[in-house]
Chains A and B, each alone.
Chain A
Amino acid sequence: MSDVSFAIAAGEVVGIAGPNGAGKSTLIALLLGFIAPTTGTLRIDGRAPRQFVEETGIGYLPELIPLNPAWRADEAITRMAVLGGLPAAVVRARVDDVIERVGLSEHRRKRCKELSKGNLQKVGLAQALLRDERVYVFDEPTHGLDPVWTQRFRALIRELRRPDRTVLIASHNLDELERVADRVIIIDRGRIQRIVDLRGAGVTEATAYRVRAAAGAAVLLGAFPTAVEQVPGEITIPAVDLATLNRGLAWAIGEGAVISAVMPVESALEREFRSAVQPAGGDA
């Protein structure tokens, strides 16, 4: 990685996005002090990453879950609880709590080698949640999780949000990042290409929309002359700003159109990501 410079404030949820091989995992390894930068400095709360981790600990879910295949799920989590410094008196209750929280109760006695990818991911998630951390780092957190647990993960991030806490999420899933992150750092070829602030940014820009009409599709086409009806009842409106969109929709509804859905063809983050990564001709 080179020319990487950014700061994350306490209270923020920050995403890291990038194509395969962009440097996301390297960046996380640097942040946790697993590797040292050849030049430059990293500081977490004023301390070198390794020093911060050894003194404070970080709630970390790695992309891969390379726990010993012979360990049982609850044993693996208990080991991490002991290494996390939880007092002996609370270890069992805390382990039970996180197992329950991630929905692993019925698989807790299975060995890691017997667990499905999703359940192994839950073991990784459970051990990251053992302690009340100031910093959480999740690397591809919903990898292998079913849609229900993907949704629950979003709820979990909302629960973790706290003014004195920082949450970092690396993911390929831009939709997921857009739903939970305040900012997203887009990296590619080992460099930061863009930092997108999702707190309000992008919504005023002209965007293409897909509108589903239960009735009155023809009226919608009249409201947006450049729109096209690609499939019956579904109209794609080329880039318009929000004011124009709302005016057109209001008129169409007034003329009898019944709208069932309005979706941006491409989210603000997806647009930023595409434009940040596309020039490289990378493998995004």
Chain B
Amino acid sequence: MNAPRARLGAYAWWQLRDYAAGPGLGTLVITLLVGIAPIIAVMRAVATGTGGEPPDELIRPLFNSFVQFLALVGPIMAVGSMVSADRAPGLTRFLFAKPVGVPQYYLLMWSVRGAGLLAITAVLSLAIQVLVAPVAWGGAVMGIALTWLHIGGVGFLASVLVPRDSVYVIGLYATTTLLAQFQRIAPQWEWVDPLLVVLPPMHKLSDLCVALMDGTAPAWNDLWHVMGWGGACLALGAVLIRRLPLVR
């Protein structure tokens, strides 16, 4: 009856290593190549022209774009196939013959990957701060934390339910963003409104991120809406993972 239980705290280091060597490294490389390159190019251009520090009105939108890019790529890579990649080949047979709670194992992984993503955000933002100009790195970390809660929560549920879950998350993001655009440019299309009510409010993330980075008050209703969806999906995923088959 008193058999030892899994030492999940110790296993978190393995999970962090897996993240760092896989999705974390991918996020870092893609963000460095796509997100930071324009900032460095501008910095060089401005430094060559004026010999001084790039102006804030130039750096701020560039930094915001960089964070928004990271806010999309980072969570999708971190949460993609989190559960399904273990279940499809059968690694779950090894993991869960040990005295491990399935929701506990994956909620720990979710937390570890979120922490890893926040660390990447902090490091990249601080690098820009040191190498280019002062930026709102604290706001960037908060913005990424918000997107992780939302996209990470929705993605976790998707990964519990279906294989190739990243495709669904990207599809949801694209759909809600497009619908929000329609709502803005063609308010007469009333069929859009109920769809945006029932779908996860991914289209609201961008504005919320910018508000957090700029230090302005976010739209609180939107903030709760986004956080509520993420938290609810995460909780639902944790409940369902106990009830759905652990092997395919």
Contacts and interface: CB of A to CB of B under 8 A. Distances in A.
Contacts of B21: 70
Interface stretch (A57-65, A149-157, A231-239): A57-65
Interface stretch (A28-36, A158-166, A243-251): A28-36
B10 interface: yes
A59 B90 CA distance: 16
Interface centre among B7, B92, B95, B97 (most CB of A within 10 A): B97
B97 A66 contact: no
B246 A53 contact: no
A80 interface: yes
B99 A67 contact: no
Interface string A61-90: 010101110100000000110111111100
B99 A34 contact: no
A33 B242 CA distance: 10
Contacts of A55: 1, 3, 5, 99
A275 interface: no
Given A34-B246, A82-B11, A62 B94 contact: yes
A34 B7 contact: no
Nearest to B4: A85
Of residues A29, A59, A85, A127, which shows the largest number of chain B Cβ atoms within 10 Å of its Cβ? A85
Interface residues of A, number: 36
A3 interface: no
A79 B14 contact: yes
B93 A54 contact: no
A92 B76 CA distance: 36
A34 B247 contact: yes
B30 to A, nearest CB: 20
A89 B101 CA distance: 23
B58 interface: no
A57 B98 contact: yes
A105 interface: no
Contacts of B91: 66-68
Contact of A56 (B7, B10, B99, B102): B99
Interface in A119-159: 124, 127-128, 131, 134, 137
Contacts of A87: 4
B100 A60 contact: no
Given A54-B100, A56-B99, 15 more contacts: A32-B96, A34-B245, A34-B246, A36-B245, A54-B101, A54-B102, A55-B1, A60-B93, A68-B91, A79-B11, A83-B98, A83-B99, A84-B6, A87-B4, A88-B10
Interface of B: 1, 3-8, 10-11, 14, 21, 89-102, 242-243, 245-247
